[in-house]
Structure 1
Amino acid sequence: MNNPVANPPVAQPFVHPVVHLQAPSMLVSSSLMEETQRQASSSQYTDDLIGAAIFDLSGLPKEYFTTAESSDVSWVQTIFQALGLQSLLMSSLKLDGFRHAVIHGADYRAVVVRQKNRYTALLTRQTSEALPESFIQWAQEFEPTILRSHPRFSAM
């Protein structure tokens, strides 16, 4: 596997990324109807993905997945940099509980969530629609290694 940190890609799809960091907030438990909507959205969310990357807890990229729509992995470098910035801000400001970050590019947006043993970045098309909270909840529970056997994705 090529290390995108040691060999940075030439193309930069995220020309001027905007990073939003959010610490945890109290979440109201889902009603049965919200749970049903989230399950229905789950398969749609997987269909909306055009890339994914797995980072260890120190922010180093471990594995990434591409689709025919987005075979350029230069966005992984931007996520690596954002995780470094997040770590610096969290320690400098004495904050705990990184929840997620959204990095907006010209054509794509990446949602980075902290999971138990890793950070997972999910690449989707940039839209004018707000990112639904149900997507963040789904992303926090998403198992990115299932993409290894998904027909649309190639592991890098």
Structure 2
Amino acid sequence: MPAYDDSPLTTSTIQDPFSLYSQHIAGAAIFDLNGLPKEYFTTLENGNMGWVQTIFQALGLRLLLTSSLQLEGFHHAVIHGEGYNALVVKQNSFYLALLVQQTYPSIITDSFIEWLQGFEPDLLKSHPRFRSI
């Protein structure tokens, strides 16, 4: 697994990481703990929601593996695509999935995942870059 550079977080943007990260987020989806999609967000740059189906399938696979193999401790998953990566994190009462533009160095760092695990999705509703569908 490649090493990720956390250097963007050492700048003054650490006080508002959403300002740093939001420019790389092309879409978001919220799933309940059963893996069913509840809410979607797109940007003007990318209205494609096909990636949500991939996340839905990945969450279904996770639920199957958890029940049949008694696996616990799912925290996040990254699905690599062409030009974008999809990232899913588990929060207390839902899963949050983001479609993130591929960047170099990658924005998907341990710090980003930790921040996302505590991210409040309601911020997407009020952010001018995102629209709910």
Give the Cα separation in 2 of the matches to 1:43 and 1:58.
31
Q: What does 1:70-81 correspond to in 2, within 5 Å?
A: 70-81=46-57
Structure 1 SS opposite 2:99:
strand
Paired position in structure 2 for 1:14: none
Q: Equivalent residue of 1:50, what SS? A: strand
The residue that corresponds to 1:48 in the other structure is 24
SS at match of 2:67: helix
* Identity across matched positions, percent: 57
Query: What amino acid maps onto 2:132 in structure 1?
Result: A
Instruction: Kindly indicate whether the alpha-carbon contact (under 8 Å) linking 1:38 and 1:134 is maintained by their aligned counterparts in 2.
Output: no
Superposed CA RMSD: 2.0
Q: Deviations over 1:35-63 (max 9, x none)?
A: x8743544201232111000000000000
Counterpart of 1:15 in structure 2 is none
Secondary structure at the residue paired with 1:53? strand
Q: Give the CA deviation at 1:93.
A: 2.2
Choose 48-57 or 128-137, whichever is displaced more: 128-137
Deviant stretches of 4+, over 3 Å: 36-42, 127-130
CA gap of 1:155–1:100, structure 2 versus 1, over 3 A, is same
Structure 2 portions without partners, runs of 5+? 1-8
* TM-score, structure 2 as length reference: 0.83
Partner of 1:122: 98
Give the 5 Å matches for 1:17-96. Answer: 38-96=14-72
Return the alpha-carbon distance in structure 2 between the equivalents of residues 76 and 120 of structure 1. Answer: 11
**SS across alignment from 2:90:** strand
CA distance in structure 1 between the aligned counterparts of 2:24 and 2:15, rounded to whole angstroms: 15
| Alpha-carbon distance between aligned partners in 2 of 1:46 and 1:71, rounded to the nearest angstrom | 15
Q: Aligned residues, how many?
A: 123
Q: 1:149 to 1:126 in 2, by over 3 A?
A: same
Q: Deviations over 1:83-132 (max 9, x none)?
A: 00111122222111210000111111111000111000011112353421
8 Å contact from structure 2 (residues 13, 20) kept in 1: no
Q: Is the alpha carbon distance of 1:58 and 1:85 closer, same or farther for their aligned partners in structure 2, counting shifts above 3 Å?
A: same
**How far apart are the structure 1 equivalents of 2:113 and 2:41?**
19
Output the CA distance in 1 between the equivalents of 2:27 and 2:54: 14
Structure 1 unaligned spans of 5+: 1-32
Q: Is 58-67 or 125-134 further displaced after alignment?
A: 125-134
